[in-house]
Structure 1
Amino acid sequence: MLVLTRKPGQSILIGDNIEVKIIDVQGDQVRIGINAPKDISILRKELMDEVRQANREAVVDSFGISLEELNRVLKE
């Protein structure tokens, strides 16, 4: 993982076409802006983690087995 220090108004570039800009810092919160092409998805990781967990629980509820066990059965 690359760790950088930036001040409000400063940016970092990812590749040629993604800019992450520090908008504001207040206490322990940082506001960032992201400029990226429309075909690039920008998602909050904690929300994706919640969706993945809900999907895992749905598999267990639907099939009564864990994802690992279901994966093992499907590979046989």
Structure 2
Amino acid sequence: MLILARRPGESICLGENIRITVLSMQGKQVKLGLDIPADTTVYREELYKRAEEENKGAIPTNNEDLMVALQLWKRKKP
């Protein structure tokens, strides 16, 4: 992990397209401004992890399910 110290108003750049600026600090809270491309998606880590876990459990499969799906797919081919 890279650790950088920045003061309010200072920025770091990630590549050519992303700039993160420290906007303010109040107690334990830091406000960041992100200049990112419009097609870049940003998630808060705790929400990303929760969605990832829900997706893993949403459609449990096993090898037998995959083999049945493959056989059905092969039957539908002309």
- Normalised to the residue count of structure 2, the TM-score between the two structures is 0.71
Alignment of 1:48-63 (within 5 A): 48-59=48-59
2:28 maps to which residue?
A: 28
Alignment RMSD, CA only? 1.8
2:43 maps to which residue?
A: 43
- Normalised to the residue count of structure 1, the TM-score between the two structures is 0.73
Unaligned regions of 5+ residues in structure 1, if any?
64-69
| Bigger-Rg structure (1/2) | 2
Unaligned regions of 5+ residues in structure 2, if any?
68-78
